[in-house]
Amino acid sequence: MNLTMDETFICKAIFSDIDGTFLTSDHLVSQKTLIAIRAVMQQGIPFSLITARNPLCIQPILDRIQLSCNIIGCNGALILDENHNLLYEKGFSVSETSDLLYYIEQAGFDLAWNLYTATDWYVKDRTDPRILWQEGEVEVTSKETLPEQLPSDTVIAKVLCICNHKEVPMIELALQHRFPEYTIVKSAPTLLEITAGGINKAQALTHFCQLKQIAPEHALAFGDNYNDVEMLETAGCGILMENAPADLKEKGFLITADNDHDGIAMILNQLSII
C-alpha cells in the first residue's frame, strides 16, 4: 500500500465515490473521515460526492452526518451544489424514456426498471421485491408512475434496471445493440445503469471544474471500482481504495487504506492545508 502523495500536487477540489469509498462496509461514515473532510472544506476546497445514486438517495447519508456538500449524481448526469441548486443536467426526454421502456417490456426481460430525475424516483410497481430491496438500501420511498404520466418537459437522468443476475449479460448486450447512442454499464451483479451518451464520472468532474474555474489537474479523486477508473485518470491525483478489485490495483494509481480503515482521511491528512 502506497500512501505517499506527490508533494508538488496542489489540491483545489475533492471528489469521492460513495459506496466502498466514502462509506464503510456498514454503510457509515467514519469519524476520522468526516473530520478530515470538514477540515478541507473549511479551507475553501469544494468537496463533492460523485456516485451512480440519485441525489434523493444521497441525502439520508448527509442528513445523518450533518454535512452539506456538492452532489454529482446518476454517474454524472446531475450536478447540484451544497444548497441543492441544479448546476448541470443531461438525460432522456419523456418520449425517449417511453421508447426505451417499451423495448424492455416487449422483449420480456426479467427486470424491474427505475427512473431517476434530479428530485424524484419513479417505478412501475412498488410491491416488486426488487424495488422493496432498493428502497431498503437507500432509505427512500419510490413513486409509482409511468413515463406518459410525467410532465412533458421532465428530464430522466438515469434508468436503472434491477435484473435477474443470470440474464444481465444478455440484457446488457441487447440494450447496447438497440440503443448504441446511450451509455449502458453494469454496476453490480444485478444492476444495469442507462444514461445519455457521454455521461460518466470523468466528464462530470471536468464539467464541475469548469464551472468552478479549477483545472482538473488540481482535482483529487477517490474511488474503488471500475466505473471510477476514468475519473481517477482525469483527476490530477487519483486515489484507489485498498478494497478495490486486484486488477485495478495494477493500474498504477496511488492506493490508500480500505473504506473500513479511514482511507480517505489518511490521504486528506497529508494535504498541507490541514
The pLDDT of 1-18, averaged and rounded, is 82
The pLDDT of 257-272, averaged and rounded, is 91
Q: Is the pLDDT of residue 4 over 70?
A: no
Q: Which residue segment(s) compose the domain that 55 sits in?
A: 13-89+200-268
Helices 168-178 and 94-107: crossing angle in degrees, nearest 10, is 130
Return the percent helix, strand and coil in the chain, to nearest 5: 40, 25, 40
CB-CB contact of 49 with 65 (8 Å): no
User: CATH code at 209?
Assistant: 3.40.50.1000
Mean pLDDT of the chain: 93
Domain count for the chain: 2
Q: Are residues 183 and 115 in the same domain?
A: yes
Domain stop point among 165, 195, 225: 195
Per-residue pLDDT of 123-152, as tens digits, reads 999 999 999 999 998 889 999 999 999 999
Q: Is the pLDDT of residue 2 over 80?
A: no
Q: Are residues 25 and 44 in the same domain?
A: yes
User: CATH code at 133?
Assistant: 3.30.1240.10
Within a domain: 273 = no
Q: What pLDDT is attached to residue 85?
A: 94
Within a domain: 176 = yes
Q: Where is average pLDDT lowest: 167-171, 187-191, 208-212, 230-234?
A: 187-191
Neighbour-count burial of 148, counting CB atoms closer than 10 A to its CB (0-12 exposed, 13-18 middle, 19+ buried): exposed
Q: Are residues 81 and 121 in the same domain?
A: no
Domain stop point among 137, 170, 195: 195
Within a domain: 249 = yes
Q: Where is average pLDDT lowest: 1-5, 85-89, 106-110, 148-152?
A: 1-5
| Beta-strand pair 86-89/111-116 | unpaired
| CA dist., res. 143 & res. 167, Å (int) | 26
Q: Are residues 140 and 158 in the same domain?
A: yes
What does the DSSP 8-state code read for residue 249?
G
What pTM was estimated for this model as a whole? 0.89
Q: Name the one residue in this structure whose C-alpha cell is 441487447.
A: 174
Q: What pLDDT is attached to residue 274?
A: 44
- pLDDT tier at 202 (50, 70, 90 boundaries)? very high
Give the 3-state DSSP-derived string for 210-221, with helices as H, strands as E and coil as C. Answer: HHCCCCHHHEEE
Domain stop point among 147, 177, 195: 195
Q: What pLDDT is attached to residue 227?
A: 83
| CA dist., res. 65 & res. 59, Å (int) | 10
Q: Is the pLDDT of residue 185 over 50?
A: yes
Within a domain: 1 = no
